Amino acid sequence: MNIPDIIRMFRQQAEQAGALNAFQAEALDDITACRTPLLGGHIFTCKHCGCVKSTYNSCANRHCPNCGSYKREKWALMRKSEALPVKYFHVVFTIPQQFNALCMQAPGLLYDIIFKCAWLTIKQFSKDHKYLGAKPGMVAVLHSWGQNISLHPHLHCLVPGGGMTQQGNWRPLQKSEGKFLFPVKALSIVFKAKFCSKISAMLKQGIVKAPEGETNPFRWINNIYRQNWVVFAKKPLPKGEQVVDYIARYTHKVAISNSRIKGIKDGKVVFSWLDYRVPKVKEMELGGVEFIRRFLLHLLPKGFVKIRHYGFLACRNKTTAIEQALRCLGEEPAKNLKGLP
């Protein structure tokens, strides 16, 4: 039992329940057609033994659980080729679940704001000579789900432990001596302020609306602002390649993989999920229509860029900046560095 099987089994019920729009229907068409005769294929014949093998084409839809492994491996190789011999930090920016209603109204806009506010926060701390005093770099990957495939937007960020000065020199982290990136409590406060400020402006302009039942949108967002927000920063790994391997798992994933599907029981989809509060792997049962509804929550708008590069790692000047940083760190740039996206 896999995701395409579940879609075929419960899609008609989902359509009857009015749970699909044209964009979602197109994505489900791609996923169910992936690696089937519907998309055609290729036949390979061995010249020596005459053995014949046929393979079907993949759909290449970024939301397909059967696609993405090749892109993930390619992405990881690219990042490893440009990794610097410094500590790297994995930072996770998360927004409270009260914003889920707005994410469903305008996912592209809300996810853009998460990216912008995370980068502005890292940039603000990096400007301070107490912490760094140089131009930082960051690679950010958006995830919109939790283990139970409900809506849970958050950003996985890969941040080198240093930056480039205006004079073109490499400057390591100052106050922390490489033990941590920036104080996480301070990161949380700054990120929270920037995000709430942008959401308040959107509410004022009528771009988004407060959730149903909230008569005073500014009181609503003020209550969310009073909460403690979560910015999580793991301990640094000594080699960039190790962090790349870790974060590469997040780059081309979809809401749930086929390996987590355990089967169908009494008309419900049974899948495994990790309860981080325990922590313990558990099983969850969802009705077929509800499973498809949750899966569709994580379809990104067409053209939306879910992996973004910032600072000296931005695509426009990345090659030059990395070559310069490597020389400052006493290493020669890799020959295959030029031309990498």
The verdict on 25 and 94 lying in the same domain is no
Q: Is residue 22 part of a domain?
A: yes
Check whether residue 77 and residue 198 sit in a common domain.
yes
Domain count of the fold of the chain: 2
Helices (H), the chain: 3-16, 22-33, 69-81, 100-105, 107-127, 184-205, 217-225, 240-251, 288-296, 318-328
Report if residue 136 sits inside a domain.
yes
Q: Is residue 263 part of a domain?
A: no
User: Cβ neighbours of residue 150 under 8 Å, at least 6 residues apart?
Assistant: 294, 297
Question: How many alpha carbons lie under 13 Å from residue 222 in its C-beta half-sphere?
Answer: 4
**Structural domain contains residue 278:** no
19 close to 55: Cβ distance less than 8 angstroms = no
Residue where one domain finishes, among candidates 12, 27, 56: 56
| Residue 49 forms part of a structural domain | yes
- For 94, half-sphere exposure in the C-beta direction (CA atoms, 13 angstrom radius) is 16
Residues 192 and 318 in one domain: yes
CA gap 256, 63 in Å, rounded = 10
| Statement to judge: residues 172 and 50 lie in one domain | no
Q: Based on the domain organization, do 18 and 101 belong to the same domain?
A: no
CA distance 247 to 218: 36
Q: What is the pLDDT of residue 244?
A: 73
**44 domain residue, yes or no:** yes
Let me know whether 39 and 185 are in one domain: no
Q: How far apart are CA 314 and CA 238, in angstroms?
A: 23
The answer to whether residues 124 and 101 belong to one domain is yes
DSSP 8-state symbol, 262: E
Contacts of 295 (CB under 8 A, 6+ apart): 3, 149, 255, 256
Domain span at residue 138 reads 68-255+297-328
* Alpha carbon distance 19, 11 (integer Å): 9
Is 63 inside any structural domain?
no
Residue of 121, 120, 155 lying closest to 247 (CA atoms): 155
* Rounded-to-integer distance, Cα 337 and Cα 322, Å: 9
| Residue for token pair 């008309």 | 267
Residues 192 and 228 in one domain: yes
Q: What is the pLDDT of residue 334?
A: 64
Would you say 306 and 136 are in contact if contact means Cβ atoms under 8 Å apart? no
User: Cis before residue 279, ω within 30 degrees of 0?
Assistant: yes
For position 339, what pLDDT does the model report?
46
Same domain, residue pair 80 and 205: yes
Examine the domain organization and report whether 73 and 201 are in the same domain: yes
Which of 340, 320, 322 lies closest to 331 in space, CA to CA?
322
CA atoms within 13 A on the CB side of 249: 7
Q: Give yes or no: residues 133 and 44 share one domain.
A: no
Question: Does residue 319 lie in a domain region?
Answer: yes
Mention every residue, 6+ apart, whose C-beta is less than 8 A from residue 198: 113, 116, 117
Stated pTM of the model: 0.90
Do 12 and 93 lie in a common domain? no
Each of the 341 residues of the chain gets a pLDDT tens digit; together they read 899 999 999 999 999 988 788 999 999 999 999 999 998 988 888 888 888 888 889 998 999 988 877 788 888 887 777 788 888 888 999 999 999 999 999 999 999 999 999 999 999 999 999 999 999 999 999 999 999 999 999 999 989 989 999 999 999 987 666 677 888 999 999 999 999 999 999 999 999 999 998 989 999 999 999 999 989 887 777 666 676 777 777 787 889 999 999 999 999 999 999 988 888 999 999 999 999 999 999 999 999 999 999 999 998 778 889 899 989 988 877 654 544 45
DSSP-derived letter for residue 50 is: -
pLDDT at residue 235 in the model: 74
Look up residue 57 and give its two tokens: 């084409």
